[in-house]
Amino acid sequence: MKNKITVSAPGKLMLFGEHAVIYGKPCIVTAVDQRIRVRVEKIGGSSITVNAPEVKVKDYSLKISDLGKIEYPKEIKFVLKAVENFFKKYQVKSGLNLETKSGFSSLFGFGSSSAVTVSTIKALSEIFDIEVGNKLLFDICYKTVLEVQGVGSGFDLAAAIWGGTIYFVGGGKKILPLKTKELPLVVGYTGIKADTATLVRKVAGLHKNNKKKVDEIFDSIEKLVRAAKIALENTDYPKLGELMDENQKLLYKLSVSTPELDNLIGSARQTGAFGAKLSGAGGGDCMIALADKSKTAKVKKAIEKSGGVVLDVKFNAEGVRIEK
Ligand code: PMV
Protein backbone atom coordinates (compact mmCIF):
# COMPACT_ATOMS: atom_id res chain seq x y z
CA MET A 1 0.00 0.00 0.00
CA LYS A 2 1.30 3.44 -0.92
CA ASN A 3 1.16 6.46 1.36
CA LYS A 4 1.24 9.03 -1.36
CA ILE A 5 0.21 9.12 -4.96
CA THR A 6 -0.34 11.54 -7.82
CA VAL A 7 -3.22 10.97 -10.22
CA SER A 8 -4.18 13.05 -13.25
CA ALA A 9 -7.32 13.29 -15.39
CA PRO A 10 -8.07 15.17 -18.60
CA GLY A 11 -10.49 17.96 -19.33
CA LYS A 12 -13.13 17.67 -22.02
CA LEU A 13 -14.83 19.32 -24.94
CA MET A 14 -18.41 18.64 -25.87
CA LEU A 15 -18.68 17.82 -29.58
CA PHE A 16 -22.43 17.22 -29.97
CA GLY A 17 -25.57 17.01 -27.87
CA GLU A 18 -25.14 19.49 -25.00
CA HIS A 19 -28.24 20.30 -22.96
CA ALA A 20 -30.32 17.49 -24.49
CA VAL A 21 -28.02 15.06 -22.63
CA ILE A 22 -29.44 16.39 -19.33
CA TYR A 23 -32.82 15.05 -20.52
CA GLY A 24 -31.57 11.51 -21.08
CA LYS A 25 -30.39 12.01 -24.68
CA PRO A 26 -26.96 11.01 -26.03
CA CYS A 27 -24.00 13.32 -26.57
CA ILE A 28 -20.46 12.97 -27.90
CA VAL A 29 -17.55 14.26 -25.83
CA THR A 30 -13.80 14.15 -26.35
CA ALA A 31 -11.07 14.32 -23.69
CA VAL A 32 -8.49 17.09 -24.15
CA ASP A 33 -4.79 17.09 -23.33
CA GLN A 34 -5.15 19.66 -20.55
CA ARG A 35 -4.94 17.71 -17.30
CA ILE A 36 -5.49 18.26 -13.61
CA ARG A 37 -3.19 16.53 -11.17
CA VAL A 38 -4.06 15.69 -7.60
CA ARG A 39 -1.41 14.54 -5.12
CA VAL A 40 -2.75 12.80 -2.05
CA GLU A 41 -0.67 11.85 0.96
CA LYS A 42 -1.84 9.86 3.94
CA ILE A 43 -0.59 11.43 7.16
CA GLY A 44 -1.11 10.90 10.87
CA GLY A 45 -3.47 13.06 12.88
CA SER A 46 -7.03 14.06 12.23
CA SER A 47 -6.72 16.94 9.77
CA ILE A 48 -7.22 17.29 6.05
CA THR A 49 -5.14 19.99 4.41
CA VAL A 50 -5.66 21.24 0.87
CA ASN A 51 -3.37 23.32 -1.29
CA ALA A 52 -4.76 24.48 -4.63
CA PRO A 53 -2.46 27.21 -5.96
CA GLU A 54 -4.44 27.87 -9.18
CA VAL A 55 -7.43 28.97 -7.15
CA LYS A 56 -5.25 30.62 -4.49
CA VAL A 57 -6.03 28.18 -1.70
CA LYS A 58 -3.06 27.80 0.64
CA ASP A 59 -2.97 25.37 3.56
CA TYR A 60 -6.73 25.17 4.05
CA SER A 61 -7.28 22.72 6.88
CA LEU A 62 -10.27 21.05 8.48
CA LYS A 63 -10.84 18.20 10.92
CA ILE A 64 -12.00 14.84 9.56
CA SER A 65 -14.94 15.09 11.96
CA ASP A 66 -16.01 18.33 10.21
CA LEU A 67 -16.45 16.60 6.85
CA GLY A 68 -20.09 16.91 5.80
CA LYS A 69 -20.82 19.31 8.63
CA ILE A 70 -19.32 22.60 7.49
CA GLU A 71 -19.58 24.68 4.35
CA TYR A 72 -16.47 24.04 2.20
CA PRO A 73 -14.68 26.94 0.46
CA LYS A 74 -16.15 27.09 -3.03
CA GLU A 75 -12.75 26.82 -4.76
CA ILE A 76 -12.12 23.36 -3.31
CA LYS A 77 -15.67 22.08 -2.83
CA PHE A 78 -15.28 19.21 -5.28
CA VAL A 79 -12.09 17.92 -3.65
CA LEU A 80 -13.55 17.98 -0.14
CA LYS A 81 -16.91 16.53 -1.17
CA ALA A 82 -15.01 13.73 -2.93
CA VAL A 83 -13.06 12.95 0.26
CA GLU A 84 -16.25 13.09 2.35
CA ASN A 85 -18.09 10.71 0.03
CA PHE A 86 -15.17 8.30 -0.24
CA PHE A 87 -14.69 8.11 3.55
CA LYS A 88 -18.43 7.59 4.04
CA LYS A 89 -18.84 4.95 1.34
CA TYR A 90 -15.83 2.85 2.37
CA GLN A 91 -15.92 3.58 6.11
CA VAL A 92 -12.28 4.68 6.12
CA LYS A 93 -10.55 7.76 7.45
CA SER A 94 -7.09 9.20 7.75
CA GLY A 95 -5.39 12.55 7.95
CA LEU A 96 -4.57 13.72 4.42
CA ASN A 97 -2.52 16.27 2.54
CA LEU A 98 -4.03 17.07 -0.84
CA GLU A 99 -2.53 19.24 -3.52
CA THR A 100 -4.02 20.07 -6.89
CA LYS A 101 -2.16 21.27 -9.94
CA SER A 102 -3.90 22.40 -13.05
CA GLY A 103 -2.59 22.39 -16.59
CA PHE A 104 -5.39 24.67 -17.72
CA SER A 105 -7.23 27.76 -16.64
CA SER A 106 -10.53 27.04 -14.94
CA LEU A 107 -11.83 30.04 -16.91
CA PHE A 108 -12.26 27.87 -19.98
CA GLY A 109 -15.03 25.34 -19.63
CA PHE A 110 -12.67 22.39 -19.99
CA GLY A 111 -14.09 20.61 -17.01
CA SER A 112 -11.63 21.28 -14.21
CA SER A 113 -14.19 20.31 -11.55
CA SER A 114 -14.87 16.91 -13.11
CA ALA A 115 -11.17 16.20 -13.63
CA VAL A 116 -10.34 17.14 -10.04
CA THR A 117 -13.19 14.99 -8.66
CA VAL A 118 -12.12 11.96 -10.69
CA SER A 119 -8.44 12.39 -9.76
CA THR A 120 -9.24 12.73 -6.05
CA ILE A 121 -11.44 9.63 -5.83
CA LYS A 122 -9.01 7.58 -7.94
CA ALA A 123 -6.09 8.66 -5.74
CA LEU A 124 -8.01 7.76 -2.57
CA SER A 125 -8.92 4.33 -3.94
CA GLU A 126 -5.22 3.72 -4.59
CA ILE A 127 -3.91 4.81 -1.22
CA PHE A 128 -6.64 2.97 0.69
CA ASP A 129 -6.11 -0.03 -1.55
CA ILE A 130 -9.76 -0.35 -2.53
CA GLU A 131 -10.47 -1.58 -6.02
CA VAL A 132 -12.80 0.80 -7.81
CA GLY A 133 -13.56 -0.02 -11.45
CA ASN A 134 -14.36 2.70 -13.98
CA LYS A 135 -18.16 2.46 -13.73
CA LEU A 136 -18.10 2.56 -9.93
CA LEU A 137 -15.63 5.44 -10.08
CA PHE A 138 -18.10 7.21 -12.38
CA ASP A 139 -21.00 6.61 -9.98
CA ILE A 140 -19.15 7.93 -6.91
CA CYS A 141 -17.93 10.97 -8.85
CA TYR A 142 -21.38 11.61 -10.32
CA LYS A 143 -22.98 11.58 -6.87
CA THR A 144 -20.27 14.01 -5.68
CA VAL A 145 -20.76 16.40 -8.60
CA LEU A 146 -24.54 16.40 -8.22
CA GLU A 147 -24.21 17.15 -4.52
CA VAL A 148 -21.95 20.12 -5.19
CA GLN A 149 -23.49 21.44 -8.37
CA GLY A 150 -27.07 20.23 -8.31
CA VAL A 151 -27.22 19.62 -12.07
CA GLY A 152 -25.22 17.83 -14.75
CA SER A 153 -25.29 14.81 -17.02
CA GLY A 154 -21.89 13.44 -15.98
CA PHE A 155 -20.49 13.55 -19.56
CA ASP A 156 -17.40 15.40 -18.34
CA LEU A 157 -16.70 12.71 -15.74
CA ALA A 158 -16.90 10.00 -18.40
CA ALA A 159 -14.31 11.91 -20.48
CA ALA A 160 -12.07 12.32 -17.42
CA ILE A 161 -12.27 8.60 -16.58
CA TRP A 162 -12.25 6.81 -19.94
CA GLY A 163 -10.55 9.47 -22.07
CA GLY A 164 -10.72 9.32 -25.87
CA THR A 165 -13.98 10.21 -27.57
CA ILE A 166 -17.19 8.88 -26.05
CA TYR A 167 -20.83 8.40 -26.96
CA PHE A 168 -22.53 9.11 -23.64
CA VAL A 169 -26.15 8.91 -22.55
CA GLY A 170 -27.26 11.22 -19.70
CA GLY A 171 -26.46 9.99 -16.19
CA GLY A 172 -24.09 7.34 -17.56
CA LYS A 173 -26.79 5.01 -18.89
CA LYS A 174 -24.51 4.30 -21.82
CA ILE A 175 -20.80 5.01 -22.03
CA LEU A 176 -19.41 3.92 -25.33
CA PRO A 177 -15.80 4.70 -26.32
CA LEU A 178 -15.68 5.50 -30.06
CA LYS A 179 -12.99 4.57 -32.51
CA THR A 180 -12.04 7.87 -34.06
CA LYS A 181 -9.11 9.17 -36.00
CA GLU A 182 -7.57 12.56 -35.58
CA LEU A 183 -10.08 15.41 -35.34
CA PRO A 184 -9.05 18.60 -37.17
CA LEU A 185 -10.87 20.90 -34.76
CA VAL A 186 -10.16 24.51 -33.95
CA VAL A 187 -11.25 25.83 -30.55
CA GLY A 188 -12.09 29.51 -30.06
CA TYR A 189 -12.69 31.14 -26.69
CA THR A 190 -15.07 34.12 -26.57
CA GLY A 191 -13.40 35.62 -23.52
CA ILE A 192 -16.65 35.30 -21.60
CA LYS A 193 -16.81 32.98 -18.63
CA ALA A 194 -20.12 31.14 -18.57
CA ASP A 195 -21.88 29.46 -15.70
CA THR A 196 -23.11 26.01 -16.68
CA ALA A 197 -25.71 25.68 -13.90
CA THR A 198 -27.33 29.02 -14.85
CA LEU A 199 -27.64 27.95 -18.49
CA VAL A 200 -28.99 24.53 -17.57
CA ARG A 201 -31.63 26.25 -15.44
CA LYS A 202 -32.45 28.61 -18.31
CA VAL A 203 -33.14 25.66 -20.62
CA ALA A 204 -35.16 23.98 -17.85
CA GLY A 205 -37.31 27.12 -17.70
CA LEU A 206 -37.88 27.01 -21.46
CA HIS A 207 -38.73 23.32 -21.22
CA LYS A 208 -41.22 23.93 -18.46
CA ASN A 209 -42.99 26.68 -20.36
CA ASN A 210 -42.95 25.08 -23.78
CA LYS A 211 -42.50 21.38 -23.25
CA LYS A 212 -43.66 20.19 -26.67
CA LYS A 213 -41.44 22.53 -28.67
CA VAL A 214 -38.35 21.95 -26.52
CA ASP A 215 -38.87 18.17 -26.51
CA GLU A 216 -38.94 18.32 -30.31
CA ILE A 217 -35.61 20.17 -30.26
CA PHE A 218 -34.16 17.48 -27.95
CA ASP A 219 -35.45 14.74 -30.29
CA SER A 220 -33.78 16.46 -33.26
CA ILE A 221 -30.53 16.73 -31.28
CA GLU A 222 -30.73 13.03 -30.46
CA LYS A 223 -31.08 12.17 -34.15
CA LEU A 224 -28.13 14.27 -35.16
CA VAL A 225 -25.93 12.88 -32.37
CA ARG A 226 -26.62 9.36 -33.63
CA ALA A 227 -25.71 10.47 -37.16
CA ALA A 228 -22.58 12.17 -35.84
CA LYS A 229 -21.47 8.94 -34.15
CA ILE A 230 -21.52 7.18 -37.52
CA ALA A 231 -19.88 10.10 -39.33
CA LEU A 232 -17.12 10.17 -36.68
CA GLU A 233 -16.47 6.47 -37.01
CA ASN A 234 -16.30 6.89 -40.82
CA THR A 235 -14.13 10.03 -40.54
CA ASP A 236 -16.69 11.81 -42.73
CA TYR A 237 -15.73 15.45 -42.11
CA PRO A 238 -18.21 17.13 -44.51
CA LYS A 239 -21.06 15.25 -42.85
CA LEU A 240 -19.76 16.07 -39.38
CA GLY A 241 -19.53 19.75 -40.33
CA GLU A 242 -23.11 19.71 -41.56
CA LEU A 243 -24.24 18.12 -38.30
CA MET A 244 -22.34 20.71 -36.27
CA ASP A 245 -24.17 23.49 -38.11
CA GLU A 246 -27.48 21.72 -37.50
CA ASN A 247 -26.68 21.28 -33.81
CA GLN A 248 -25.78 24.97 -33.55
CA LYS A 249 -29.15 25.97 -35.06
CA LEU A 250 -30.94 23.94 -32.41
CA LEU A 251 -28.80 25.38 -29.60
CA TYR A 252 -29.63 28.83 -30.92
CA LYS A 253 -33.30 27.94 -30.62
CA LEU A 254 -32.64 26.96 -27.00
CA SER A 255 -31.32 30.52 -26.50
CA VAL A 256 -27.92 29.43 -25.23
CA SER A 257 -25.83 30.96 -28.02
CA THR A 258 -24.63 34.57 -27.75
CA PRO A 259 -23.69 37.24 -30.32
CA GLU A 260 -20.00 36.62 -29.51
CA LEU A 261 -20.34 32.89 -30.15
CA ASP A 262 -22.39 33.51 -33.32
CA ASN A 263 -19.69 35.87 -34.50
CA LEU A 264 -16.82 33.39 -34.06
CA ILE A 265 -18.89 30.57 -35.53
CA GLY A 266 -19.83 32.73 -38.54
CA SER A 267 -16.23 33.73 -39.20
CA ALA A 268 -15.05 30.10 -39.07
CA ARG A 269 -17.73 29.08 -41.57
CA GLN A 270 -16.94 31.98 -43.89
CA THR A 271 -13.31 30.92 -44.09
CA GLY A 272 -14.24 27.44 -45.22
CA ALA A 273 -14.74 25.34 -42.08
CA PHE A 274 -16.88 22.23 -42.65
CA GLY A 275 -19.05 23.42 -39.79
CA ALA A 276 -18.95 25.13 -36.40
CA LYS A 277 -20.90 25.30 -33.17
CA LEU A 278 -20.69 26.33 -29.56
CA SER A 279 -19.29 23.70 -27.22
CA GLY A 280 -20.67 23.14 -23.74
CA ALA A 281 -23.38 25.08 -21.98
CA GLY A 282 -23.13 28.21 -24.16
CA GLY A 283 -23.56 31.75 -22.82
CA GLY A 284 -19.97 32.48 -23.88
CA ASP A 285 -17.06 30.13 -23.25
CA CYS A 286 -15.88 28.16 -26.31
CA MET A 287 -16.85 27.34 -29.87
CA ILE A 288 -15.40 24.63 -32.08
CA ALA A 289 -14.94 24.51 -35.84
CA LEU A 290 -14.08 21.51 -37.96
CA ALA A 291 -11.76 22.48 -40.80
CA ASP A 292 -9.59 20.72 -43.32
CA LYS A 293 -5.90 20.95 -42.35
CA SER A 294 -5.27 23.19 -45.40
CA LYS A 295 -7.74 25.72 -43.99
CA THR A 296 -6.86 25.58 -40.29
CA ALA A 297 -4.55 28.61 -40.33
CA LYS A 298 -7.16 30.74 -42.12
CA VAL A 299 -9.95 29.67 -39.76
CA LYS A 300 -7.79 30.43 -36.71
CA LYS A 301 -6.95 33.87 -38.06
CA ALA A 302 -10.61 34.63 -38.75
CA ILE A 303 -11.58 33.62 -35.20
CA GLU A 304 -8.89 35.88 -33.77
CA LYS A 305 -9.92 38.76 -36.03
CA SER A 306 -13.44 38.40 -34.68
CA GLY A 307 -12.21 38.82 -31.12
CA GLY A 308 -11.77 35.17 -30.13
CA VAL A 309 -8.76 33.50 -28.55
CA VAL A 310 -7.66 30.31 -30.29
CA LEU A 311 -6.83 27.61 -27.76
CA ASP A 312 -4.26 25.02 -28.60
CA VAL A 313 -5.68 21.70 -27.46
CA LYS A 314 -5.35 18.11 -28.59
CA PHE A 315 -8.28 15.72 -28.52
CA ASN A 316 -8.79 12.05 -27.75
CA ALA A 317 -6.54 12.39 -24.69
CA GLU A 318 -5.84 9.55 -22.25
CA GLY A 319 -8.28 9.11 -19.34
CA VAL A 320 -7.45 9.09 -15.62
CA ARG A 321 -3.98 7.75 -14.85
CA ILE A 322 -1.52 7.31 -12.04
CA GLU A 323 1.50 9.55 -12.46
CA LYS A 324 4.98 8.43 -11.63
O1 PMV B 1 -20.31 24.04 -20.08
P2 PMV B 1 -19.88 22.64 -19.97
O3 PMV B 1 -18.70 22.35 -20.78
O4 PMV B 1 -19.79 22.16 -18.57
O5 PMV B 1 -20.99 21.75 -20.68
C6 PMV B 1 -22.26 21.66 -20.20
C7 PMV B 1 -23.05 20.66 -21.00
C8 PMV B 1 -24.48 20.53 -20.51
O9 PMV B 1 -25.11 19.56 -21.30
C10 PMV B 1 -25.22 21.84 -20.69
C11 PMV B 1 -24.52 20.15 -19.04
C12 PMV B 1 -24.20 18.69 -18.75
O13 PMV B 1 -23.81 18.39 -17.62
O14 PMV B 1 -24.39 17.83 -19.62
Taking only the tens place, the pLDDT of each residue in 283-305 is: 999 999 999 999 999 999 999 99
Specify the pLDDT at position 107. 61
Specify the pLDDT at position 181. 82
Within this chain, do residues 173 and 189 fall inside the same structural domain, yes or no? no
- Give 152 Cα–ligand 1 centroid separation in angstroms: 7
Within this chain, do residues 104 and 198 fall inside the same structural domain, yes or no? no
- The string of pLDDT tens digits covering residues 145-194 is 999 999 899 999 999 999 999 999 988 999 999 998 888 999 999 999 88
Within this chain, do residues 193 and 278 fall inside the same structural domain, yes or no? yes
- Give 108 Cα–ligand 1 centroid separation in angstroms: 13
Say yes or no to pLDDT of 2 above 90: no
- Give 95 Cα–ligand 1 centroid separation in angstroms: 34
Ligand 1: nearest atom to the Cα of 151: 13
Say yes or no to pLDDT of 103 above 90: no
Q: Whose CA is nearest to atom 13 of ligand 1?
A: 152
**Domain count of the fold of the chain:** 2
Say yes or no to pLDDT of 324 above 90: no
Say yes or no to pLDDT of 108 above 90: no
Within this chain, do residues 141 and 235 fall inside the same structural domain, yes or no? no
| CB contact at 8 A, 318 and 268 | no
Query: Which DSSP string do the residues of 127-186 spell out, in sequence order?
Result: HTT----HHHHHHHHHHHHHHHHS---SHHHHHHHHBSEEEEEGGGTEEEEE------EE
Out of 138, 141, 155, mutate this one to test ligand 1's pocket (max ligand atoms within 8 Å of CB): namely 155
Mean pLDDT taken over the chain: 95
Q: Where residue 194 sits, what CATH number does that domain have?
A: 3.30.70.890
- Give 47 Cα–ligand 1 centroid separation in angstroms: 34
Active site residue 285: no
Say yes or no to pLDDT of 28 above 80: yes
Specify the pLDDT at position 109. 66
Within this chain, do residues 24 and 162 fall inside the same structural domain, yes or no? yes
Specify the pLDDT at position 170. 87
Out of 153, 218, 257, mutate this one to test ligand 1's pocket (max ligand atoms within 8 Å of CB): namely 153
Say yes or no to pLDDT of 311 above 90: yes
Within this chain, do residues 82 and 113 fall inside the same structural domain, yes or no? yes
Query: Which DSSP string do the residues of 229-263 spell out, in sequence order?
Result: HHHHHTT-HHHHHHHHHHHHHHHHHTT---HHHHH
Within this chain, do residues 148 and 225 fall inside the same structural domain, yes or no? no
Range of the domain at 299: 185-311
Within this chain, do residues 138 and 258 fall inside the same structural domain, yes or no? no
Catalytic-labelled residue, pool 66, 139, 156, 245:
156
Say yes or no to pLDDT of 105 above 70: no
| Rounded Cα gap, residues 188 and 299, in angstroms | 10
- Give 208 Cα–ligand 1 centroid separation in angstroms: 19
Q: Where are the beta strands (DSSP E) in the chain?
A: 4-16, 26-43, 47-52, 57-63, 95-102, 165-169, 174-178, 185-189, 275-279, 286-290, 309-311, 321-323
Within this chain, do residues 142 and 222 fall inside the same structural domain, yes or no? no
Ligand 1 proximal residues by C-beta, below 6 Å: 14, 18-19, 21-22, 109, 152-153, 155-156, 196, 200, 280-281
**pTM summary value:** 0.96
Q: How far is CA 187 from CA 175, 183, 262, 299, in A?
A: 24, 12, 14, 10
Within this chain, do residues 11 and 147 fall inside the same structural domain, yes or no? yes
Handedness of CA 7, 8, 14, 16 (dihedral sign): negative
Q: Where residue 127 sits, what CATH number does that domain have?
A: 3.30.230.10
Within this chain, do residues 86 and 194 fall inside the same structural domain, yes or no? no
Specify the pLDDT at position 212. 98
Say yes or no to pLDDT of 321 above 80: yes
Out of 12, 13, 14, 206, mutate this one to test ligand 1's pocket (max ligand atoms within 8 Å of CB): namely 14
Ligand 1: nearest atom to the Cα of 285: 1
Within this chain, do residues 203 and 156 fall inside the same structural domain, yes or no? no
